[in-house]
Amino acid sequence: MQDLPSHIDIHEEGPREGFQFESRIFPLADRVALVDALSETGLRQIQVASFVNPKAVPQMADAGDLFQALRKRPGVRHTALWLNERGFRRAQATPGVDLKASLLLHTSDTFSHRNNGCGAGEMRKEQERWIGMYAEAGLPVEAAYVMTAFGCNFQGDIPLSEVQAVIRWLVDRFEGTKQPLPVIMLADTVGWAVPTEIERRVGAVRDIAPTARIGLHLHDTRGAGMANFYAALRMGVDVFEGSVAGLGGCPFAGHGQAAGNICTEDIVFMAHEMGIETGIDLERLIEAARQAERLIGRALPGRVLRSGSLAGYRT
């Protein structure tokens, strides 16, 4: 266990994961307005949309138009998700996309089939090709996501040994190369994590890759999201992915009540109250969260968007 980090990086996932999860297709102008509002909060990275099969995910069919309509702000990256080379090439050809080269690794064969159409081993081989594809494009690999790192609704418990095997594979691929090891993002894709497993699995990753930066992609499906965030902070984790107002969920989770990522404004509030810097203007972020809730048209799970921060009580 380490001291708390003095600063954490928070990457926003709501515009992509949130609107991809909704059954409705929301107007382009409304989604642009939300991303533009988030870009004014101090967030440095916002995942805006995904380049995936529009027949499978019609909510993202206008991803190219969305990127081109955004107002660019210096220092803010508007990134995208893709699941195959075709998606990457579409992103690469779209003006306004800040390309973030990431690898997608799986611990669960069944989840990998549902998410990518192939097993975990086959997807791992595909990632070797992606490393070359990114190198040809002049892009360093920034992040490696380990999906269902804490459990899977289809395969059940994911042994720690499976996570360790994925991390060893990753370390082997970058050992002896000029590229540094990417940030290792452990994803609680379907909401199985509890604080003790956060500690156990982050610790195990550190044993294998002691120099790697570790991040977490946490879902709040079973209400443990904020406790898991705190446990990760106590382990020195300093990269997190959140979703404004708690938007979204995983469409491949296998349950009907998939929750989105931990709520961005809630974790910013907690971090600031604990003396941890984020570089984010919480008041502006709360306004963006309320904007998201108005757009969706129903109550969203974020807490701070309703209660507000403590700033008004400290005059």
Residue 226 neighbours by CB distance under 10 Å: 16
pLDDT at residue number 178 = 86
For residue range 155-184, list pLDDT tens digits in order: 899 999 999 999 999 999 999 888 999 999
pTM here is: 0.94
pLDDT value, residue 21: 85
What is the reported pLDDT for 296?
Answer: 94
* pLDDT level of residue 154 (50, 70, 90 thresholds): confident
- Residue 170's pLDDT is 97
* Mean pLDDT of all residues belonging to the chain: 93
3-state secondary structure (DSSP) of residue 93: coil
Place of tokens 């996501």: 145
d(CA 95, CA 199): 41
Distance CA 96, CA 39 (A): 14
What is the token pair recorded at 175? 């050992």
pLDDT digits over 110-150, tens only?
676 776 777 777 889 999 999 999 999 999 999 999 999 99
Which positions are annotated as active-site residues?
250
**24, 57 contact by CB (below 8 A):** no
The candidate with the shortest Cα–Cα distance to 291, out of 49, 31, 44, is 31
CB 309 within 8 A of CB 286: yes
User: What's the pLDDT at 119?
Assistant: 74
Question: Token pair for residue 67?
Answer: 């990127």
Residue 58 DSSP symbol: G
Residue 252 in this model has a pLDDT that exceeds 90: no
How far is the C-alpha of 266 from the C-alpha of 59, rounded, in Å?
26
Asked if 279 and 44 count as a contact pair (C-beta separation under 8 A), the reply is: yes
Confidence of residue 310 (pLDDT cuts 50, 70, 90): very high
Confidence tier at 230 by pLDDT (50, 70, 90): very high
pLDDT in tens, 235-251: 999 999 999 999 986 55
pLDDT value at residue 109: 80
- Give the separation between CA 35 and CA 28, rounded to whole angstroms: 11
